[in-house]
Each structure stands twice: as C-alpha cells, then as structure tokens.
Amino acid sequence: MKKLLLFCGAMLVARLCFAQETFPVNGPWDVRPGQYAFINANIVASADQPVTKGTLLVKDRVIEDLGAGLAVPKGYVVIDLKGKYIYPGLIDAYTTYGMPEAPRAAFPQGGGFGRLPVYTSPKPGAYDWNEAIKPEMNAKAIFHADASKAEEFRKNGFTTVQTLIHDGIARGTSAAVTLGDERDNELMLNDLAAAHYSFSKGTATTNYPSSLMGSIALLRQTYYDAAWYKNQKEEYNISLDEFNKEQSIPQVFEVSDALMVLRANKIAKEFGKQYIYKTDGKEYRRLDAIKATGSSFIIPLTFPEPYDVEDPLEARNISYTQLKDWELSPTNPAALEKAGINFAITSFGLDKAADFWNNLRTALDYGLSEKQALKALTIIPAEMLGIADKTGTLAKGKIASFIITSDDLFKKDNIIYENWVEGRQYVVTRLDVTDLRGNYMVASDALQGLSLKISGMPGSYEVNLERSADSVQAKGTITRSGDIVSIYFDLKNKPAGNVRLNGYITNLNPLTFSGNGILPDGTDIKWMATYTGPASGGNNKKDQAKPDTTAGPVIYPFGAYGAAQLPKAETVLFKNATVWTNESEGILQNTDVLIANGKIKAIGKNLSDAGAKVIDATGKHLSPGIVDEHSHIAITNGINEGTQAVTAEVRIGDVLNPEDISIYRQLAGGVTTSQILHGSANPIGGQNQVIKHRWGVLPEELKYENALEFIKFALGENVKGSNNNYVPGATLRYPQSRMGVEQVYVDEFTRAKEYKAARAAKGSNVRRDLELDAIVEILDGKRYITCHSYVQSEINMLMHVADSMGFKINTFTHILEGYKMADKMKAHGINGSTFSDWWAYKMEVAEAIPYNGAIMHNEGVNVAFNSDDDEMGRRLNQEAGKAVTYGKVSEEEALKFVTLNPAKMLHIDKWVGSIKPGKDADLVLWSADPLSIYAVVQKTYVDGIPYWDLDKDAANQKAMKADEARIIQKMIAAKNKGAVTQKAPGRRPKGEEEEGDDD
Amino acid sequence: MCKYADVQMKNINSMNKIFTILGGLLLSVSLAYGQANISPAKPQTKPIIITGATIHVGNGQVINNGYIAFDKGKITAIGEGAGPNTNGADVIDATGKQVYPGFICPITSLGLVEIEEGARGTVDEDETGDINPDARTLVAYNTDSKVIPTVRSNGILLAQPTPTGGIISGESSVVQLDAWNWEDAAYKTDIGIHLTWPVAVGNNRRRAAPTPGVPQESPAEKAQKAIDAIEKLFSEAKAYAEIAKPEVTNVRFEAMKGLFNGSKKLFVNADGAKEIMQAVTFAKKLGLSAVIVGGSESYLVTEVLKANNVPVIIKETQRLPDRAEDDVYLPYKLPKILQDAGVLYGLTGIGFWRQRNLPFEAGQSVGYGLTKEQALSMITQNNAKILGIDKTTGTLEVGKDANLFISTGDALDMITLDVIKEFIQGRDVNLDNLHKQLYKKWSNKYGLKTDL
C-alpha cells in the first residue's frame, strides 16, 4: 500500500531559496532543495496541451521540466498522482487582494447639515487639482498579503491575482501578486501590471465631477494636461508626471454596463488608447458593439438569483429588464466566446467566494467551453497582466504555480486538493490516495446482510446503510483520517442503538476495510467491508438536473418595449389625410403623402406607388414630427455638472441613454426630435445634443446627423443656487447674485479671447483647455447658445454682454418674461422657446403668463413651446393648443410652435419641421386635430421608420406580459429545485429624477 | 375684439334698463393694472336666465337649445326650448354656446401656496410633525392669492384646499373661489381628514449606508410597523370618541371624532394596489368612510373598491405610468377602467396653479375611452359626490346652487375652452386675472391687439 506524505503547514516556514538576499536570518540557515516530482498525473499544461501520465518536476520556485515519461532524477520527493490532474494555477484578473479599505468617511461635513463644497483637492502634496485623479497611487506600495483572503482565493484554485486600488477615476497602477503566505517581497510578480481607470470618482472629496459627463470631461482634460505637462516648465505636478509614465503599461478601464464600454471607448479612440474593460458581465446586451471595440475584457460571474415571485403584486416590482437579465446573464460568457471576444474571468463582485465555481459551472451549462474557461482563468489574464512568461501555463522555466485536482477541473464533483504557489504547497482538501465512494458489503457476524454506501464528496462523505432482509435503512456518520475510518449508525432494530465501527484500509483492489466495533450493548465485534461497485445517485439533486438553459432573445433596448429586430424604414402612402404642411400650402384637406427611403417623396392628390404600404388616413390628421427644444430625457447619471460656474467642457453627447423609456413614451406622443440640454445649475453649463427618437439604437446613433453644436447657458435663481440648502460653513459657489452672473460671462469670454490668441501664436505650448475651446467655438460662430432665462433684467444683461463681447445668443429658453423683452429679442434675432402656461413655481416666475408665446409671436419673435419635462414632452401638441387658448394664435401657427419653429431654432428646418418633399420622413398620424385634447397618436415615423404604432404597441404589451409570465414560471421552477432566491424589490419609487437637479 | 361682445344681452320686459355684462371687462381695462381691482362679486339680486345654450348637466345629460334660470343663488329651472316666464330676469342669450356646472377641484394646494419654491413664507400646506388631524386648511386659505383668479377663469369654481406632509396631514374644507375672506369662502367646512398610507419603497439608487451594528429593516417591515402605528392610533381615537367627557381633552382626537360618527371622511393617499387594499380593509374594520386619493394602481383592485363603496380621486391623467412596463397611456385610460368597473372616481390635477388645467386633465381621458359627458362628470358630479357636496352642487339641477359658467366652445379642450361668463351661487364672477392684465399691459407697449 502506498502512503502519501502529507505536508504540514509549518514546513513552509523553511526557506527554499535565496530570493531575500538582503534579509538577516535568526539562527542556522534552513535552506532546502525544494525538489518535487509529480508523476503519473494528467497534466493540462495549457488548454491546448494535455499530457497524460505526465511527470512534473519542480525545483524550488520553478518548473524544471514536464512531460510524459520523464525520468525522475535522484533527490526528488516523488508524489504519485495517478488518476489525478494538474492544471496551471488560476489567475484572478481583477481583485483588491491585500489592499487597504478606501477611507470612506473623508468627506468634509458641515456640522450635520450635509457636505461642504470642495473646489480643489485638499490632499497634501504636489498632486492633481482633482482628488479623483490619482495616478500616483501604486498598488505595489501599499500591498500587504492577507492570509485569510489568500486562502479563500486558493480554495477556488487561484494562485495569482491582479490587485488594484479600486478608487477614483485615474486609479494608478496595479500589481500582479501570487497568493502565497510569504513575505510581501516574495509575492510580487509584476509591480506595474496595469494602469487603472473608471468613471467613478470614488472617495474623492472634490465636488467636481458630480456627473458622468463631468467624469468623462475630467479624464479627457487629464490626457490633454498630461501631454502638455511633458513640454512645459512652469508647473510641478506629480500626478501628471505619473500619468505619463503609466501610459506604456496595459490600461484597464472599469465600467458599470455595456453602454459605458462604448463611452470609454470613445475616449480610447480620441487618445489612441486600447483599454481592457472590466465590466458588469452584461455584454450580451450589446454584443456587436462590444466586439467592434476590438478590446479585451475582464468579466465577472455575477449572475442574479431568481426572485421570489409568488405574490403577483410584489412581482410587479421586478422589472422586465431584471427578469430577462436573470435568464440571460449566465449566457454572457458563452456569448462572448461565440463572438470571438478575448476575455478573462474574475471572481470580483461575487457575494461569497463559494459562488465562483457554482457560477462558472452555470456558465458552462449555458455553453461556455471548458477550454475557453480555462484560458480565461490562466493564459489570457497572464497575457493581460504581462506575466505570461512566468505563469498562465505549465512550462519549463515558469513559476511552479499549479493546482492538483481529483478530476477534470470543470467536472461537477471535481475536488481541488492542493495549490502550489511558486513551489509552495497549500492544502485545500487532503489528497487521499483512494476515493472511498462506492457500495460495500459488510461481513460481520453481528451485522449479517448489511450493505454500506459511501457517497458525497471526499472530505465530506455521507454513509447510508441498508439490510434487504428486513428492509432496514439508516444514515450513518463516517469520519476519515488518512487510511483510518470510523463509522457509527443506528439501525433502530436488531440491534437498536448506535453501532460504532473503527477500521483501516486493508486492500486497495477491491477496496476493503476491516477492523473492530462495539455494539450498543457493549459487545465487541469484528467487521470487514468490501467494495462491490460504484455508488449510484447522490443526495444532491441540484447537481443532477441540468438547468433549463433556453432563454428568450436579447432585445433592443434591453427592457420594456424593446424588440429583437429593430424596425426598418418603410415606403408608405398616407391616403386622404388632413395634412398640416407648415409650408405655404397650409393645412390641406383630403391629401396624400408618400414617404420612401426615410424621406418625404411626394404630397398631393391621388398619389400612387405600387410598392408602398397604403394607410387610409381618412378623417385623420398628418403632421410633421414634434420637435422639443428643451428636454432632459435619455441622459445617463446626471443632467447637471453644476459644481463650477462654468462647465463648458462637459457634453450631453457623451452620456446619451438610448434605453430611457421616455424615448418610447415620447414617440407615443408624436415627438421625433429633441434637443437634450445640460441642466441650469450654472451660468455656462454643458454642450447639448440634438437627437432623433430612434428607439433601440446605440447612444451614438441617437445623435441627429444634421444637428449643429449647442451649449447651455443659464441665468437667475438656479445659477445663483437660490433654492439650494445652505450648509453652514460652506464657501458658496460663485455667483450668488445676478451681478455676479454677468461677471462670470465677462470673465469667461475675456479669457477665451486671450486663450484663442495665445493658442494661435506660433510655437505656442498653451495648454489645451476643453472648457475654453467651447467658448472659442461660440465666438467663432460654430456653437450656438440656448440660454435658460426668466426675468427681464437678466435677459437684457446677457444681450448686452453678447453685444459687447461679440457673440450671438441663439435661443432664450423658458424665457417666461420674454413678453417684456420681445422687441429687443426681435432686434437681436433671438428665438424664444417657452412654456405654454407654467408659472408660480418660484419667485422669478411670479409674472410668467400664458400669453407670453402669443405676445412674442405677435411681435415677430420665432417662438417655440418646450417641455423640460418627460411627461409634458409627450403631449407638446396640447401645449401648442394652449397658444390658441391664451392669445388666440391661429391653429396653423400654433402647431409650428412645436414643430417648424423649434426646428428653425436648432437650424435643422432644412430637414425637419414641415411636410415637404425631400425632408426627413418624421411624421405623426393623429386621430383628430393635433392641437386638440382628443387627439390620439396612431403612428409615429422617424426617418420613415415606424417607431410607434398604436396597434403594434397593444400586441407588444401582450407579448411582453406573456414573456414575463414565462420567466416567472421558470423562476418558480428554479426555486422549487432548491435555487437560492432574492426578495422582489419594493415598489419602485415614482419619478426617478435626481435630487437637486435644476432643469 | 374682446370675446364678451359675442354674448348678446336681452332684457325682456324691462327694455329701458340696459344691463351689461361687459361691465366687468370694461372695469379692468379702464382701471389701474394689478390684482387689487378684482373684487368678489355682489350677491345675486335678480333672476337670471341663460337661453339657447347647449347645457351639460354634469350627470351625463346634454340639453340642446336649453335654458337655465337661477335666482337668489339657486337654480330655479332648467330645460329644453324657450324656458319659463322670465319676467324681471336678466336674460343671457347663449345661442351656440356651452353651459357647464362649475368644475370642482379636490385635493389642491390652491390658496395655501403662492410661490412653490424659494418663498417659504408663502407656503402653508404642511405642518410639522406626523399626526396633525386638527390642522385646518380653511384658516390658511388665502382668498387674495393671485393664483385663484387664473384658475377660476378656466371654469373651476370650487376647490378643496388640502394639507400635505406627515402621516395625518390635517383636515380640509371645500371653498368657493370668489370671496373676501376664508369665512365667506367656506362652502363645506372640515369635511375630511387626510392620511398618507405607508409604502414599502424598494431599492432606491441612493440607498443609505447601513449603520454598523444596527439590523437592517426591510422596506416591507418598515411599512408594516407604520401601518401598525396607524391602526393603534385610530383605535385609540375611536375609543376616545366614545368618552362623553374626557378627563384631558386631546385636540387631535377631538378632530378625529367626526370620522367615527360619519361627519368626516378619511382621505387616504395611496397609489399601489397593495396599499389600497390595506387602506380599504382598515377603513372597513373601523367603519370609516374612506376615499382613495391617487390610486394609480386602483385598476388592479377595482373589485375591492366596488365591494366596499370606496371611491377614488385620481391624481392627474396627464402623468407618466409608474412602471416602464405599463401601457404608455395607462394614466389616460385609468378613468375608463374605473368607469367600466363601476367604481366611483373623481379627478384632480396637482399643486395649485396647474389646476387651471383640470378641464384638460378630464378631456385627456376622452381619446382613451370615456365619453365627453363622463369626462365632465368626473370633475363635476363625481367630485361633488366624493366630497359630500352633491346635494348643493356638481350638476345643474333645480334647487342646487347656481355654480356654472358659459364657454363659447367645448370646455374640456384647450382649443375651444373660452369662458365668458361665470356664476358662483348666482354671483356674477369677475373673470379678470393677473395674466390677462399683464397681457394687456405689455401688448399695449408694443401696440399689439389683445384677444381675450
């Protein structure tokens, strides 16, 4: 009988080599050869290189050799791994192993009244102005091994991890370390593994950035600042210096969802970078776009648990997105593999380490190949982290980091016995030479006819006893210690009470135990048990049933009213409609309109087109699509970057959210184009974005191609912070009065002129400033201003500043006292985009009147009604109707308030805003006069694509309900099979607007 | 031209006496601008009869070419055709025009708030503390609010200024919108108490960090605790109400007494199906007359509402659905669903100044299933029933108050709403307001004509 030598942990204290030359030794040196030979093993040197009956020779920290039939030289400890496997040690590509907790309580408080504003970083030292930019942080400098965490990782088979500082936008450098219990000096594999980034400012105390668009702008500006820093002598800045030094190593960007990958990738393109993305594991939702980045990914295995869905009312709080995500999340790794995307797998983000293998096996069930899984946990992360020459596969000269397993690594019952980390052995499960599982026949005088079944997992065996003669069944307890076992059980009858047995392995083939025992009455007995065959059927039902891996399709957008297939442009002939042309023809009765290829093709009587889908529009009204000059829909994480008086550098176009249900709802209100504005928290806000309401597309595809560049200005109470809570002790953000507002503009435009001149000077190394760039564009007539405004004094002021500084104001938006300034606006050629009837919601609208639109219009100003609100946005036609109520504007002109006139303001009236051949086929079919409260939108076309259809919507709702019900049934089934569930979320809060946002 | 010119005046049997209803308008044009000149109307001194109109009774009935007569503030006759003897009456020829019962606006902060934000001094709708059944909106109702005339000139003649905040916010009264002071304005005093039902709101994005060592309460547990507290409070109040002479008077419980003798209603703010069911069973258990306010998910529990005769005051049809998965038009369709289910439902808008859109909020439901007359009933007859004022108003019937107005066109549609004449308890209400005055003032600056 072969006995396996089991190492005890204490042996590891002995030193095996001279890596720590500089360290003194207390007592005689204990240097050992550290030579091991693992023989007869199935060695999976890499996913593509299995070696059967192989030998692995380890010398100290390094793999000396491996292969089949290698001779074992003298002086090696020989370990026979017959029937067992050796795999390369797994690498977790994304962890915070050994990192101190980021300090979370660092925000300066205002005596319990909230946070004090912080304008520039209070961090001591010559670092960046913004605390979220901390490239000077190095994981290598603060890493300290954590024995209990290391053990947790090793249990899952990991031998190496990347560890990083999980805090900030520029997070500094990470390290690749091994998971040994040695001095930190011994663990470092690569002390500059990668540079890390994110959009999340983490614990930074600086107010800026408060929004996603601010984070993006800050990172872009940092790239420009760092480039400038190289060639200047005036400023000393450790952060920028370190930022530059880190550019040559791999760049890892952590994002929170698939669309964030696309946003980060825009930055990558701008600065010629190639990021590796650490994601949330939901790439399946935008797979094509993800693949198109050509990037590598680090993905987690965070698959949601099924929800408790028994209470139908509570189950309503689970969104369709959450339901579908539960079903599709486990398909993500397989989907990435199928798409040919290079990715590593991390255990990061799992609630408990034990979930790792469960979830990985789930991913395998859902189609991830074992080969790819192994690569994603070995060679791919090794390559990402620049340590492929040291680990990731088993090869001569690489470090001796590997795992010994009982079976194929990915098999359900596989056991990880040992981790070897750089030649040091760590025992996970004691490596027994013999698996005891099987059926045995007991031979004993006192226990005639008893059979014994050992099942379960090595390390936690279960034993069951059965006597067929009198159908006795019992569950026993077995304890194993090396080759010695003890078993006790109660047969309840013949004899009653506990029988206790002790024995040892006496033969390996067939496996036989024998020993002594004591009956309940104290009688000594002898016993023997002989293997008769494999134990069938475990008690673990969960492991047996393959999960139902069928899943519904991915839909775009991923949630309510998304579709697996996006609609396409149609050729449509509207017959016999009342057509509101917004052209000199006016409102035409009984008229046909033909659209094709996304454009309006013809308008007239008795049109025909053989290929067209004919829509009988008798009794119905056809109007141009509604244009909303002032909207805040479809924005991700913050409509304001209000932390500074001027944030001209931030761009709404960077943070578009095409999955906002508001887009669909507004299509149902006939709205086809919107200008998405930055909020009004500061005098100069961010850059706006004109979008078309294309439901289901990617963020960049929402942008209207013909749109020009706009920027948001704002005046009055919001920019003064008048209605914000005052935090005692705060240094208030400038400006606090309408006097200060003027000076913000005067100063900014003055600086922009100086900046422009300085940049234009030959050989200048003037730092590129994204904020001033935008102001220069205004001065150059390339960027148009939409200015939030209320009272006449401030409106007058800005017109004076514009005149004196030489720029133009395109639009006053809100402009509720426009009626007091209409003559001056007309003289300046400024548009007025107002509310139909809003007032009394704050002091500066105490004299807002619903006749404002009519007066401005009558005075010759180009007038629009806007929404500034995702509810009102979907019935702007009715708001236009109020120009008839208040001021008796003609119906034809009133409709233009929400179609042609805003199109003119946005300088897109060449393409949208009226029904004219050649223009974009953005059309709405109404059941009645579009200005009437009774009008219902039947169809909405954007670029000739039917994005809203009343009948189709009803069918979609039905289909969605059925699909929800299907998934819920599946969740109940999963729960019944023993899956751990999570509670349904509480009632979704109404109005998910962000607190304190001024719009 | 001013729109009053369209109304032809006839004074039968007293031809020498020219009565002009243009007076109100002329006054506002000729006098100084500003709110101060808009005076409450004098009591009705002589009979008035409106003839030739399309009369919307408010109960679904429409009278074409109808007449309506009223005297001393009460409706004396209504019908089709020429009408009764009009001896001594002022006659308003409303041929081709529409007559409506005055709209009733329940659950509003009208008169309690003048400026929503940045002027706390003008906000009187929310008392500190959680349990304020004794706080009365009537005494805070500001008849001089500049907002009231802007709402009134769209046909809204009665309102229920309603407290907000806390768990029990206070008690409301119904006021008429043309008065010198709140005492005059009171139409029905202290009609109900307002309670906000606890909601288990889930996973908000801004979750507070858990306090170390303190066990986390789930939203459902938190809500249940709050419900238990409400049940305890009400049972104590009920017991208190049975004591003839309490040793110590409790003003809060005194205010709640009316809930248990049927003189006050319990208005419960509840939107979710679960909360509505909880509130209805709670009210049933205590024998309270409850009204659900909000009820955005009432369509899921119509059986419960109907079986217990609990009405719903819908808050806005012009709002967004609660969930992304909901029918995008669900709020527009809600009145029709309740109509079909046989649940009594009324309607309000939100806030104060926005209540001038109440007719449109009602009209909104017509494209989505209601008839126009049902939509009208929602803000007249139904609201009156729910507020318990249907004996005197809500429909145009003999014996009821002459709360009505004339519009040249359909009053539920913005392109036709055009109120030209308005009566509250027979008093001829001034239709001027701050907005019309500023419209005229600044049109005048530019030499533009006005069209009111």
User: In this predicted structure, what is the pLDDT of residue A432?
Assistant: 64
How close A843 gets to chain B, by Cα (Å)? 6
**Could A953 and B328 be called an inter-chain contact, meaning their C-beta atoms sit closer than 8 Å?**
yes
Domain count, chain B: 2
In a domain, B17, yes or no: yes
Residues near A312 by Cβ (< 8 Å), separated by ≥ 6?
Answer: none
* DSSP run (H or E) holding A603: strand A599-604
User: In this predicted structure, what is the pLDDT of residue A999?
Assistant: 65
**Could A987 and B272 be called an inter-chain contact, meaning their C-beta atoms sit closer than 8 Å?**
yes
Angle, vertex CA A401, rays to CA A397 and CA A404, nearest 5: 125
Place of tokens 């204490």: A10
Do B114 and B96 sit in the same domain of this protein?
no
Do B295 and B382 sit in the same domain of this protein?
yes
Q: Above 80 in pLDDT, residue B409?
A: yes
- Residue A142 in contact with partner chain B when CB distance is under 8 A: no
Do B42 and B149 sit in the same domain of this protein?
no
Q: Which residues of B are less than 8 Å from A634 in CB distance?
A: none
What is the rounded average pLDDT for all residues in chain A? Answer: 92
For residue B169, the cross-strand partners are none
Rounded to the nearest 10 degrees, the angle between the axes of helix A258-270 and helix A212-230 is 20
Q: What is the residue extent of each domain of chain A?
A: 1-89+392-430, 126-249, 439-544, 626-911
Beta carbons of A157 and A150 less than 8 angstroms apart: no
A958 band by pLDDT with thresholds 50, 70 and 90: very high
Sign of CA dihedral A195, A200, A204, A209: positive
* DSSP run (H or E) holding A335: helix A332-338
At the top level of CATH, the class of A439-544 is mainly beta
Rounded to the nearest 10 degrees, the angle between the axes of helix A212-230 and helix A238-245 is 90
User: In this predicted structure, what is the pLDDT of residue A721?
Assistant: 87
**Number of inter-chain CB pairs under 8 A, A vs B:** 169
User: In this predicted structure, what is the pLDDT of residue B29?
Assistant: 40
Whole-angstrom distance, CA of residue A745 vs CA of residue A645: 10
Q: Above 50 in pLDDT, residue B30?
A: no
Rounded to whole angstroms, what are the CA distances from A687 to A180, A778, B196?
Answer: 51, 11, 42
Interface of B with A in 290-309 (CB under 8 A): 300
How close B96 gets to chain A, by Cα (Å)? 18
Question: Pairing state of beta strands A572-580 and A621-624?
Answer: parallel
For residue B266, the cross-strand partners are B193, B290
**B357: closest chain A residue by CA:** A837
Q: What domain range is B335 assigned to? A: 103-203+214-392
Q: Which residues of B are less than 8 Å from A559 in CB distance?
A: 324
Q: In a 3-state reduction of DSSP, which class is residue B123? A: strand
In a domain, B407, yes or no: no
- Residue A308 in contact with partner chain B when CB distance is under 8 A: no
Whole-angstrom distance, CA of residue A276 vs CA of residue A274: 7
Kindly report the backbone phi and psi dihedral angles of residue A102, in degrees, each rounded to the nearest multiple of 5, phi listed first.
-65, 140
Whole-angstrom distance, CA of residue A517 vs CA of residue A534: 25
Closest CA to A441 of A371, A505, A531: A531
Cα-to-chain-centroid distance, residue B336: 20
* Average confidence (pLDDT) over A645-655: 98
Q: Above 60 in pLDDT, residue A3?
A: no
Question: Pairing state of beta strands B427-428 and B419-424?
Answer: antiparallel
In this predicted complex, what is the ipTM? 0.92
- Residue B123 in contact with partner chain A when CB distance is under 8 A: no
User: In this predicted structure, what is the pLDDT of residue A104?
Assistant: 55
Do B170 and B319 sit in the same domain of this protein?
yes
The residue ranking higher by pLDDT, B327 or A543, is: B327
Interface of A with B in 940-959 (CB under 8 A): 953, 957
Residues near B409 by Cβ (< 8 Å), separated by ≥ 6?
Answer: B98, B415, B416, B417, B418
Rounded to whole angstroms, what are the CA distances from A310 to A314, A385, A970?
Answer: 8, 46, 12
Please report, for the domain that includes residue B31, its CATH number.
Answer: 2.30.40
Interface of B with A in 16-55 (CB under 8 A): none
Each residue's pLDDT tens digit, A380-407: 999 999 999 999 999 999 999 999 999 9
Lowest mean pLDDT segment, chosen from A283-287, A449-453, B7-11: B7-11
Place of tokens 């135990």: A513
Do B150 and B298 sit in the same domain of this protein?
yes
* Average confidence (pLDDT) over B40-69: 97
Kindly report the backbone phi and psi dihedral angles of residue A239, in degrees, each rounded to the nearest multiple of 5, phi listed first.
-60, -45
Each residue's pLDDT tens digit, A700-752: 999 999 999 999 999 999 999 888 877 788 888 999 999 999 999 999 999 99
User: In this predicted structure, what is the pLDDT of residue A13?
Assistant: 44
Fold type of domain A626-911: TIM Barrel (3.20.20)
Place of tokens 């007091």: A820
Do B165 and B41 sit in the same domain of this protein?
no
* Average confidence (pLDDT) over A671-695: 97
Each residue's pLDDT tens digit, B221-245: 889 999 999 999 999 999 999 999 9
Place of tokens 């290598």: A140
Termini Cα distance of chain B: 8
For residue B158, the cross-strand partners are B104, B176
In a domain, B181, yes or no: yes
Do B182 and B273 sit in the same domain of this protein?
yes
- Residue A316 in contact with partner chain B when CB distance is under 8 A: yes
- Residue B236 in contact with partner chain A when CB distance is under 8 A: no
**Could B448 and A859 be called an inter-chain contact, meaning their C-beta atoms sit closer than 8 Å?**
yes
In the Cβ-directed half-sphere of B334, how many Cα atoms lie within 13 Å? 32
* Average confidence (pLDDT) over B409-434: 98
User: In this predicted structure, what is the pLDDT of residue A21?
Assistant: 75
Q: Which residues of A are less than 8 Å from B118 in CB distance?
A: 717, 722-723, 842-843
Each residue's pLDDT tens digit, A169-211: 999 999 999 999 999 999 999 999 999 999 999 999 999 999 9
Q: Before A557, cis peptide (omega within 30)?
A: yes
* DSSP run (H or E) holding B428: strand B427-428
User: In this predicted structure, what is the pLDDT of residue A538?
Assistant: 47
Give the alpha-carbon dihedral of A395, A400, A405, A408, to 10 degrees: -20
Kindly report the backbone phi and psi dihedral angles of residue A87, in degrees, each rounded to the nearest multiple of 5, phi listed first.
-120, 155
User: In this predicted structure, what is the pLDDT of residue A644?
Assistant: 95
**Could A932 and B415 be called an inter-chain contact, meaning their C-beta atoms sit closer than 8 Å?**
yes
Six-digit token pair at A113? 């009244």
H-type helices in B263-380, by residue range?
273-286, 302-307, 330-341, 358-363, 372-379
What is the rounded average pLDDT for all residues in chain B? Answer: 91
Maximum mean pLDDT: which of A19-33, A404-418, B92-106: B92-106
The letter for the amino acid at A70 is L
**B356: closest chain A residue by CA:** A837
Each residue's pLDDT tens digit, B250-274: 999 999 999 999 999 999 999 999 9
In a domain, B90, yes or no: yes
Q: Above 90 in pLDDT, residue A507?
A: no
Do B322 and B184 sit in the same domain of this protein?
yes
Q: Above 60 in pLDDT, residue B158?
A: yes
Q: Above 60 in pLDDT, residue A758?
A: yes
**A852: closest chain B residue by CA:** B439
Each residue's pLDDT tens digit, A35-86: 999 999 999 999 999 999 999 999 999 999 999 989 999 999 999 998 899 9
| CB burial string A567-591: b at 16+ within 10 A, e below | bebbbbbbbbbbbbbbbeeebbeeb
Do B147 and B48 sit in the same domain of this protein?
no
User: In this predicted structure, what is the pLDDT of residue B66?
Assistant: 97
User: In this predicted structure, what is the pLDDT of residue B37?
Assistant: 80
User: In this predicted structure, what is the pLDDT of residue B32?
Assistant: 39
Do B275 and B378 sit in the same domain of this protein?
yes
| Stated length of chain B | 452
- Residue A929 in contact with partner chain B when CB distance is under 8 A: yes
Whole-angstrom distance, CA of residue A556 vs CA of residue A565: 8
- Residue B5 in contact with partner chain A when CB distance is under 8 A: no
Whole-angstrom distance, CA of residue A263 vs CA of residue A213: 10
Six-digit token pair at A753? 């002129």
The residue ranking higher by pLDDT, B295 or A535, is: B295
Percent of chain A with pLDDT over 90: 80
Whole-angstrom distance, CA of residue B170 vs CA of residue B141: 13
Q: Above 80 in pLDDT, residue B412?
A: yes
User: In this predicted structure, what is the pLDDT of residue A1?
Assistant: 38
DSSP code, position B353: G
- Residue A56 in contact with partner chain B when CB distance is under 8 A: no
Residues near A831 by Cβ (< 8 Å), separated by ≥ 6?
Answer: A810, A811, A812, A825, A861, A862, A863, A864, A901, A904, A905
Interface of A with B in 156-215 (CB under 8 A): none
A435 band by pLDDT with thresholds 50, 70 and 90: confident
Please report, for the domain that includes residue B174, its CATH number.
Answer: 3.20.20.140
Closest CA to A941 of A595, A701, A689, A460: A595
User: In this predicted structure, what is the pLDDT of residue A998?
Assistant: 64
Do B281 and B169 sit in the same domain of this protein?
yes
- Residue B419 in contact with partner chain A when CB distance is under 8 A: no
From edge to edge, which strands make up the β-sheet containing A863-865? A684-687, A709-714, A783-789, A811-814, A831-834, A863-865
* Average confidence (pLDDT) over A397-422: 94
Do B180 and B319 sit in the same domain of this protein?
yes
* Average confidence (pLDDT) over A599-617: 97
Rounded to the nearest 10 degrees, the angle between the axes of helix B273-286 and helix B219-242 is 20
User: In this predicted structure, what is the pLDDT of residue A444?
Assistant: 86
Closest CA to A665 of B363, B414, B326, B295: B326
Q: Which residues of A are less than 8 Å from B368 in CB distance?
A: 936
Residues near B166 by Cβ (< 8 Å), separated by ≥ 6?
Answer: B126, B127, B128, B129, B130, B131, B132, B196
In a domain, B294, yes or no: yes
Q: Above 80 in pLDDT, residue A544?
A: no
Kindly report the backbone phi and psi dihedral angles of residue A67, in degrees, each rounded to the nearest multiple of 5, phi listed first.
160, 175
The CATH superfamily holding the domain A1-89+392-430 is Urease, subunit C, domain 1 (2.30.40.10)
Kindly report the backbone phi and psi dihedral angles of residue A25, in degrees, each rounded to the nearest multiple of 5, phi listed first.
-115, 135
- Residue B205 in contact with partner chain A when CB distance is under 8 A: yes
Each residue's pLDDT tens digit, B333-382: 999 999 999 999 999 999 999 999 999 999 999 999 999 999 999 999 99
Each residue's pLDDT tens digit, A263-278: 999 999 999 999 999 9
Cβ atoms < 10 Å from Cβ of A481: 9
